[in-house]
Amino acid sequence: MVSVFVRSLIYNIVFYLNLAFWISLGIPTYVMPRWGVVWIAQNWGRASIFWMRLICNTKVDYRGLEKIPKGPLLVAAKHQSAWETFALLQFFEQPLYILKRELLWLPFFGWYLQKANMIGVDRGAGGRGLLDMFKRARDEVRRGRQLLIFPEGTRMPVGAPPDYKSGVSQIYVTCGVACVPVALNSGMFWPRRTFMRYPGTIVIEFLDPIPPGLARNEFTERVSAAIEEATARLVNDAREEQIKLLGFSAPIAGSAPA
């Protein structure tokens, strides 16, 4: 356990140094087309994954990459960790996120988000803010971008009951494009609300695309069933791997090792 603690501490220091490096390197992209800042973000993500493997012995297995269609797309991913927010970037030419408007105001990092034309949501604007978000999402996707969303809206602890928000199905209907569900087990290796990073294999699995044109309820049922079934399988595999490596599986949300 001490070794895991020390490795986690070293990785977190390296993670933020790496972030500072790429933020500094990307300053010229403020006067470049959007692809410049996307290139910086993708390489920051790859570097973060590289350092995690080197320091924490956390490997990554990407599955189902052949299922990602080209062009405008909706990508609905399970959200267990901060890891997938940057790991997913590398697979899309024009990635798009919906995020809290306040993040756009952060020095440097927020300016990059603005340059990348991410969609900031004013949560205090109520229905008007949601309508504006739906319209912007539709317009950006129709320009050929890939919208990455987390259907539960926030990071969920491993094993928590699923909580898929109704707004996701509205985005699907409004955008009118195929949706690729994504299952993963990142929360077993980068749990939320802790700096611990565990060894093993993070698996991110792209599932069969859901075609456009479904009713909202049917879409919600299909996307949630696909993601939850595959995620449960990947989490179980991760538990078995960690028990072999460490003698226990990663604690969930700060609980004691089991």
For position 126, which CATH number holds?
3.40.1130.10
pTM here? 0.91
Alpha-carbon span 248 to 18, nearest angstrom: 30
Q: pLDDT value at position 109? A: 87
Spell out where 78-231 has E strands: 95-100, 119-121, 146-149, 179-184, 200-206
Condensed to tens digits (0 to 9), the pLDDT of residues 109-120 reads 888 999 999 998
Whether residue 253 is predicted with pLDDT greater than 60 in this model: the reply is: no
Domain assignment of residue 138, yes or no: yes
Alpha-carbon span 123 to 113, nearest angstrom: 18
Quick one: average pLDDT of 220-231?
Answer: 97
Full residue range of the structural domain in which residue 79 is found? 60-246
Q: pLDDT value at position 257? A: 38
Domain assignment of residue 251, yes or no: no
Q: pLDDT value at position 233? A: 98
Domain assignment of residue 220, yes or no: yes
Domain assignment of residue 14, yes or no: no
Alpha-carbon span 235 to 174, nearest angstrom: 32
Average pLDDT, the chain: 92
Which band of pLDDT confidence, cut at 50, 70 and 90, is reported for residue 252?
low
Q: pLDDT value at position 256? A: 37
Domain tally, the chain: 1
Which band of pLDDT confidence, cut at 50, 70 and 90, is reported for residue 47?
very high
Domain assignment of residue 71, yes or no: yes
Whether residue 193 is predicted with pLDDT greater than 50 in this model: the reply is: yes
Domain assignment of residue 35, yes or no: no
Domain assignment of residue 3, yes or no: no
Sign of the Cα pseudo-torsion (202, 156, 88, 70, in order): positive
Whether residue 254 is predicted with pLDDT greater than 70 in this model: the reply is: no
Query: C-alpha distances in angstroms, 123 versus 65, 67, 109, 130, 201?
Result: 34, 34, 20, 8, 36
Q: Please tell me the least confidently modeled range out of 71-85, 116-130, 159-173, 223-237.
A: 116-130
Identify how many contiguous H helices and E strands the chain contains and give both numbers.
7, 7
Q: pLDDT value at position 2? A: 64
* Residue bearing tokens 């969303």: 149
Condensed to tens digits (0 to 9), the pLDDT of residues 73-128 reads 999 999 999 999 999 999 999 999 998 888 888 888 888 999 999 998 877 666 77
Domain assignment of residue 37, yes or no: no
